């Protein structure tokens, strides 16, 4: 037929050309992989308060975690005065960086008058090494200070699949047998109370439970952030045994900002505010701040947005009453505001617990909301490169596994 | 028991991944359909992540 199209002959590649293609793709993969490598091996640093007494590791509570990417440091501040004990954890969802930055502000400025405080800034270390670059998130967030900038990582919600793979079709929570979404098998706030011989995320959760039990923790605070179109935002979540305390703490905070309090549902398993209380003696509190950065209807997801929290689409949604906290685009939900909320939120939870239970006395000081509001967030972060701070610098990095040591040697060789 | 089956399924996934990787490499060098150069690039793109995992590049 006259109209019949002529079939084009395929361009065939010889074996040599195929190898060249493979090498070219490997080079492209190298440059792509470099981004992920940088994020995975980034080391957050902070200048510890003079009162730091001990650095523990999560693997101290479950040795199987040693040399894994789930091992993470826990900083202990012991006043030496008999009292209660507090455990504070950030970044169990590492794409909520106000939680880890709150921990760093505490770690750099804490003063403990009575009792003992355990602070774990990277709850899910593995998740913090992945980032959410697939969701076009920036890799890092930097806080401006008088001496320069302090850089922090923006991680992912779940554990890194490089450390735990594959996901099942349905995640069956242990021990309840409740069916949860498949990706929640890597969500540390769905795997409590965990198990010693489970998946790496379950093992890490189990180790945290062991910490609560072995250290006889009285008050356990899990710091989070939430999208403002999600009902559980700007709130404490607590089980029955600590709900009244959360209520009083929320009322105290209303002088500075709105803080709700909600009961931990008994039928949703695996969360810290449920299982920490059920499987240990601790009084749990989970805190959420408004983080517009993780809302789904926003414009460009940039570092500036992470720091300032201003978005016109969310402002429109707020006008229509679709957000669960008030939202004003002029003010946004900046990082200092979110960190300040957490600092005061944790302080009030501790203070009110001591009031309710006089035998659990913990007297602790760190900058509060009004301090951060007056002086800025950077004011409370110290320069790790300053000579006077050299002996106090802590590097938040897991104890590297054998094959990682090879990379470290290579890195050192390149530097030389 | 749950842990046992979970471990079995876990290793099964690795076996399946190995089979897929084998066929990717085989088809990259020798295939009868879709012989165009463009498919070579696609196959190469698919093979590289498996290579990285085998080399423990994380």
Looking at residue B34, what is its pLDDT? 85
Q: Poorest-confidence range of A13-17, A380-384, A385-389?
A: A13-17
Looking at residue A400, what is its pLDDT? 53
Type and span of the H or E element at B50: helix B37-54
Looking at residue A236, what is its pLDDT? 98
CB-based contact (8 Å) between A174 and chain B? yes
Looking at residue A5, what is its pLDDT? 61
Looking at residue A12, what is its pLDDT? 72
Using the predicted structure, report yes or no on whether residue A369 has a pLDDT greater than 70: yes
Once rounded to an integer, what is the mean pLDDT over residues A152-169? 92
Using the predicted structure, report yes or no on whether residue A100 has a pLDDT greater than 50: yes
CB-based contact (8 Å) between A134 and chain B? no
Q: Kindly report the average pLDDT of chain A as a whole number.
A: 92
Contact present, A252 and A348 (Cβ < 8 Å): yes
Q: At what angle do helices A15-40 and B2-29 cross, to 10 degrees?
A: 140
CB-based contact (8 Å) between B2 and chain A? yes
Once rounded to an integer, what is the mean pLDDT over residues B14-21? 92
Tell me the pTM.
0.90
Confidence tier at A9 by pLDDT (50, 70, 90): low
DSSP state of A359: T
Looking at residue A406, what is its pLDDT? 46
CATH of the domain at A310: 3.40.630.10
Once rounded to an integer, what is the mean pLDDT over residues A106-122? 98
ipTM of the complex: 0.79
Domain definitions of chain B by residue range: 2-54
CB-based contact (8 Å) between A80 and chain B? no
Best of A25, A32, A173 to disrupt the B interface (most B CBs within 10 Å) is A25
Looking at residue A401, what is its pLDDT? 52
Q: Does A7 map to a domain?
A: no
Once rounded to an integer, what is the mean pLDDT over residues A191-195? 97
pLDDT, greater one: A37 or A88: A88
pLDDT, greater one: A212 or A198: A212
Q: Does A94 map to a domain?
A: yes
Cα gap A395→A408, rounded to integer Å: 15
Distance from CA of A406 to the nearest CA of B (A): 11
CA dist A241 → A12, A47, A175, A263, A271 (Å) = 71, 36, 22, 10, 15
- Neighboring chain B residues of A174 at a CB cutoff of 8 Å: 2
Once rounded to an integer, what is the mean pLDDT over residues A231-260? 97
The residues near A362 (Cβ < 8 Å, ≥ 6 apart) are: A83, A84, A85, A86, A112, A114, A115, A116, A117, A218, A219, A350, A353, A354
Sign of the torsion angle spanned by Cα atoms A268, A273, A274, A275: positive
Selecting from B3, B35, B41 the residue whose C-beta is nearest the C-beta of A25 gives B41
Confidence tier at A317 by pLDDT (50, 70, 90): very high
Confidence tier at B1 by pLDDT (50, 70, 90): low
pLDDT, greater one: B5 or B18: B18
Q: Does A309 map to a domain?
A: yes
Contact present, A62 and A81 (Cβ < 8 Å): no
Range of the domain at A83: 18-415
First CA to last CA across chain B, in angstroms? 31
Using the predicted structure, report yes or no on whether residue A13 has a pLDDT greater than 80: no
Q: What is the DSSP string of A207-265?
A: HHHHHHHHTT-SEEEEEEEE-TTSSS-SEEEE-HHHHHHHHHHHHHHTTTS--EEEEPP
Within 3-22 of B, beta carbons closer than 8 Å to A belong to 3, 6, 9-10, 13
Number of domains in chain A: 1
Does the distance separating the beta carbons of B47 and A33 come in below 8 Å? no
């Amino acid at each position: 037929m006259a109209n019949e199209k002529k079939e084009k002959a395929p361009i065939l590649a010889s074996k040599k050309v195929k190898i060249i293609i493979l090498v070219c793709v490997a080079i492209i993969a190298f440059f792509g992989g470099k981004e992920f490598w940088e994020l995975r091996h980034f080391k957050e640093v902070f200048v510890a308060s003079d009162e730091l007494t001990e650095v523990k590791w999560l693997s101290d509570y479950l040795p199987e975690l040693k040399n894994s990417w789930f091992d993470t440091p826990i900083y202990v501040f012991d006043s030496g005065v008999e009292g209660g004990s507090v455990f504070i954890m950030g970044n169990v969802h590492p794409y909520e960086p106000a939680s880890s930055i709150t921990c760093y502000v505490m770690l750099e400025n804490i003063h403990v008058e009575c009792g003992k405080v355990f602070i774990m800034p990277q709850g899910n270390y593995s998740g913090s090494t992945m980032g959410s670059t697939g969701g076009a998130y920036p890799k890092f967030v930097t806080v401006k200070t008088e001496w320069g900038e302090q850089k922090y990582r923006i991680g992912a919600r779940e554990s890194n699949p490089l450390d735990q793979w594959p996901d099942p079709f349905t995640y069956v929570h242990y021990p309840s047998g409740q069916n949860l979404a498949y990706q929640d098998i890597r969500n540390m706030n769905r795997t409590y109370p965990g198990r010693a011989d489970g998946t790496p995320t379950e093992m890490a959760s189990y180790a945290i439970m062991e910490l609560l039990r072995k250290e006889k923790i009285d008050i356990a605070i899990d710091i989070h952030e939430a999208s403002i179109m999600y009902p559980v935002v700007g709130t404490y979540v607590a089980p029955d045994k600590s709900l009244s305390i959360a209520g009083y703490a929320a009322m105290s905070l209303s002088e500075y900002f709105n803080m709700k309090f909600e009961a931990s549902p008994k039928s949703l398993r695996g969360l810290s505010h449920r299982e920490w209380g059920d499987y240990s003696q601790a009084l749990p509190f989970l805190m959420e701040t408004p983080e517009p950065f993780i809302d789904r209807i926003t414009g460009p997801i940039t570092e500036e947005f992470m720091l300032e929290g201003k978005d016109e689409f969310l402002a429109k949604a707020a006008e229509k009453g679709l957000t669960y906290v008030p939202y004003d685009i002029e003010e946004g939900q900046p990082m200092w505001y979110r960190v300040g909320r957490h600092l005061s939120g944790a302080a009030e939870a501790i203070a009110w617990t001591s009031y309710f239970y006089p035998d659990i006395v913990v007297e602790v000081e760190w900058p509060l909301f009004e301090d951060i509001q007056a002086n800025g967030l950077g004011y409370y972060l110290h320069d790790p490169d300053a000579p006077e701070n050299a002996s106090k610098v802590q590097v938040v990095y897991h104890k590297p596994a054998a094959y990682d040591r090879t990379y470290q040697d290579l890195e050192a060789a390149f530097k030389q | 028991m749950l842990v046992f089956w979970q471990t079995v399924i876990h290793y099964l996934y690795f076996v399946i991944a190995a089979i897929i990787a084998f066929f990717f490499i085989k088809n990259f060098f020798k295939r009868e359909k879709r012989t165009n150069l463009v498919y070579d690039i696609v196959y190469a793109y698919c093979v590289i992540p498996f290579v990285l995992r085998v080399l423990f590049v994380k």
